[in-house]
């Protein structure tokens, strides 16, 4: 089975969030299922951003577009870090430094509609066999940046591969003024209530959702939530309509990159049986973040985009109480300037108890997972969430709001779960500062009960958060999709 995955990010070449992690890890996980004769082979098409172009080895041009949304483009076949890639080398669209979606002023690039329509058009062209000898059974598009591939395939006359769309976050939809539509090269019927049109605008994700053969999202909980008005982001009606082809598959994590026993980014490595070694990582983290070097202080880590989705404004409300209770905070994140500034000020105000680093730092993210006692993810909505999965693996007790993939991946340490020996973290609901406070009180009580705490840590570390189960679920989905083809 040959899959053409289409995405705007792929770890380790380029990542701004969980999307990149998943797109980077899934191909290998799928390949490993079949052993020597893999059941599934994945080639991933990505835009030729500078970070991607710089990482390519043995790139071969396999197709030339004389004109692709404003300039010539070449499809390169290449590999990088064991990934099989097709790269859309279109300098007029992608050869820009910095964030893939935003200019230096922090605003979306004005031509993002064209940039990601181009990715979709190129993927659809390859999917329908424009390159001799290169064929695919399934085109699997990830998120709005790739969704147009499915729209172009739908409106292509003639045979086409089967299609899957995975939603990593319904909040990002790729919505543009209707003036973009005539430039997309699609028939007028594509801009209708059952297609790309959304309140008078063009909506790329909606187009993908309308025309995909199968739709998945990254946890069963989120798959249920997005068919309701509260978390449906305006697309719940369409998602209910497509409910028979919608399912949730919880993400896994790359357990070779995220393994505390072998992690080269940690000062001290440890395993489930050698938890005492974590003390060295905690000390290193306290040093790095300017925190008091106290082994007994309950140290809470946060690694996050700083946006309202992630609920960290609630944490700001609780900081005084937390510090008053003797807890410490180590926060790494970037995002909305107001939130960044608020955490920087909090760190100055609570010197030695609150440490805050604004920016993106993969090495520090690993140290926070290994050196924190608990990891806080108080999201208002969360399609899957990866940081709580890394936390489970690293023995940092996750404290999460009960939404989407957070609810699906953490078992609350209530009395029954503690007694049964299955608890892995703490859940709270609703996503309010008051409920967060209750969760932090429960956390501190657990922290005081050292045997119970260690048991929760060990349960989390034993949980299977690898790609094995989800990869098998994707294979089943692909198989059932192909079996259903005429």
**How many residues make contact with ligand ADP (CB under 6 A)?**
18
Distance separating alpha carbons of residues 285 and 279, to the nearest angstrom: 10
Question: Per this entry, what is the length of the chain?
Answer: 486
Q: How far is CA 360 from CA 154, 199, 290, 305, 364, in A?
A: 38, 35, 18, 9, 9
- For the bound state, the minimum distance from the C-beta of residue 67 to ligand ADP, rounded and expressed in Å, comes to 34
Residue range at the interface with ligand ADP (CB under 6 A); choices 77-85, 280-288, 357-365, 423-431: 357-365
The footprint of ligand ADP on residues 162-221 (CB under 6 A) is 169
- For the bound state, the minimum distance from the C-beta of residue 220 to ligand ADP, rounded and expressed in Å, comes to 16
Distance separating alpha carbons of residues 398 and 376, to the nearest angstrom: 6
Whether the Cβ atoms of residue 174 and residue 204 lie closer than 8 Å to each other: yes
Radius of gyration of the chain (CA): 23
Alpha carbon dihedral 3, 5, 11, 14, in 10-degree steps, equals 150
Query: Is residue 398 near ligand ADP by the rule CB under 6 A?
Result: no
Distance separating alpha carbons of residues 87 and 77, to the nearest angstrom: 7
Distance separating alpha carbons of residues 88 and 77, to the nearest angstrom: 9
- Per-residue x/- mask for ligand ADP, residues 67 to 106, rule CB under 6 A? ----------------------------------------
Query: Is residue 446 near ligand ADP by the rule CB under 6 A?
Result: no
Query: Is residue 385 near ligand ADP by the rule CB under 6 A?
Result: yes
- Dihedral sign from CA coordinates of 377, 383, 386, 389: positive
- Per-residue x/- mask for ligand ADP, residues 282 to 311, rule CB under 6 A? ---------------------xxx------
363 vs 414 by CB, closer to ligand ADP: 363
Tell which one of 334, 432, 437, 444 touches ligand ADP (CB under 6 A): 334
Tell which one of 387, 401, 459, 466 touches ligand ADP (CB under 6 A): 387
Residue range at the interface with ligand ADP (CB under 6 A); choices 14-22, 90-98, 452-460, 463-471: 14-22
Angle (deg, nearest 10), helices 433-448 and 312-324: 50
Query: Is residue 360 near ligand ADP by the rule CB under 6 A?
Result: yes
**What is the DSSP-derived secondary structure letter of residue 327?**
-
Tell which one of 362, 434, 441, 464 touches ligand ADP (CB under 6 A): 362
Whether the Cβ atoms of residue 365 and residue 402 lie closer than 8 Å to each other: no
Tell which one of 13, 365, 375, 446 touches ligand ADP (CB under 6 A): 365
Query: Is residue 255 near ligand ADP by the rule CB under 6 A?
Result: no
Q: Which residues bind ligand ADP (CB under 6 A)?
A: 17-18, 21, 169, 303-305, 332-334, 360-362, 365, 384-387
């Amino acid at each position: 089975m040959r899959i053409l995955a289409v995405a705007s990010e792929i770890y380790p070449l380029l990542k701004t969030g969980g999307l990149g992690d998943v797109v980077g890890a899934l191909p290998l996980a799928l390949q490993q299922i079949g052993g020597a004769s893999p059941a599934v082979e994945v080639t991933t098409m990505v835009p030729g951003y500078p970070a991607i172009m710089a990482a390519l080895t043995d790139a071969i041009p396999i197709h030339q577009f004389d004109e692709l949304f404003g300039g010539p483009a070449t499809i390169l076949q290449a590999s990088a870090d064991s990934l099989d890639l097709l790269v859309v080398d279109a300098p007029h669209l992608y050869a820009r430094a910095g964030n893939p979606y935003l200019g230096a002023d922090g605003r979306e690039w004005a031509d993002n509609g064209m940039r990601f329509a181009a990715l979709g058009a190129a993927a659809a062209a390859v999917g329908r066999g424009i390159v001799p000898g290169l064929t695919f059974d399934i085109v699997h598009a990830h998120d709005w940046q790739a969704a147009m591939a499915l729209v172009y395939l739908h409106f292509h006359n003639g045979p086409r591969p089967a299609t899957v769309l995975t939603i990593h976050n319904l909040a990002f939809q790729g919505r543009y003024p209707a003036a973009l539509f005539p430039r997309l090269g699609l028939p007028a019927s594509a801009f209708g209530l059952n297609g790309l049109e959304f309140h008078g605008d063009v909506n790329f994700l909606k187009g993908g959702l309308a025309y995909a053969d199968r739709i998945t999202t990254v946890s069963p909980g989120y798959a249920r939530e997005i068919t309701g008005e509260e978390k449906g982001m305006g697309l719940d009606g369409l998602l209910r309509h497509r409910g028979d082809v919608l399912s949730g598959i919880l993400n896994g994590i790359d357990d070779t990159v995220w393994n505390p026993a072998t992690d080269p980014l940690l000062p001290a490595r440890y395993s489930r049986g050698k938890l005492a070694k974590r003390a060295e990582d905690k000390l290193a983290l306290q040093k790095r973040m300017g925190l008091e070097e106290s082994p007994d202080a309950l140290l809470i880590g946060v690694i996050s985009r700083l946006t309202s989705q992630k609920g960290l404004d609630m944490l700001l409300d609780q900081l005084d109480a937390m510090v008053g209770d003797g807890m410490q905070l180590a926060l790494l994140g970037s995002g909305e300037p107001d939130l960044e500034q608020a955490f920087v000020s909090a760190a100055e105000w609570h010197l030695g108890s609150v440490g805050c680093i604004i920016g993106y730092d993969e090495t520090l993210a690993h140290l926070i997972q290994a050196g924190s006692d608990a990891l806080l993810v108080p999201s208002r909505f969360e399609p899957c969430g990866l940081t709580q999965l890394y936390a489970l693996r690293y023995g940092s007790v996750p404290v999460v709001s009960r939404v989407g993939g957070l609810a699906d991946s953490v078992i609350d340490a209530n009395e029954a779960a503690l007694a049964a020996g299955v608890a892995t973290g703490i859940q709270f609901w609703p996503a309010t500062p008051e409920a967060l406070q209750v969760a932090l009180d429960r956390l501190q009580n657990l922290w005081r009960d050292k045997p119970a705490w260690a048991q929760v840590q060990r349960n989390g570390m034993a949980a299977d958060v690898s790609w094995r189960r989800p990869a098998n679920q994707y294979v089943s989905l692909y198989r059932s999709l192909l079996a259903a083809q005429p």
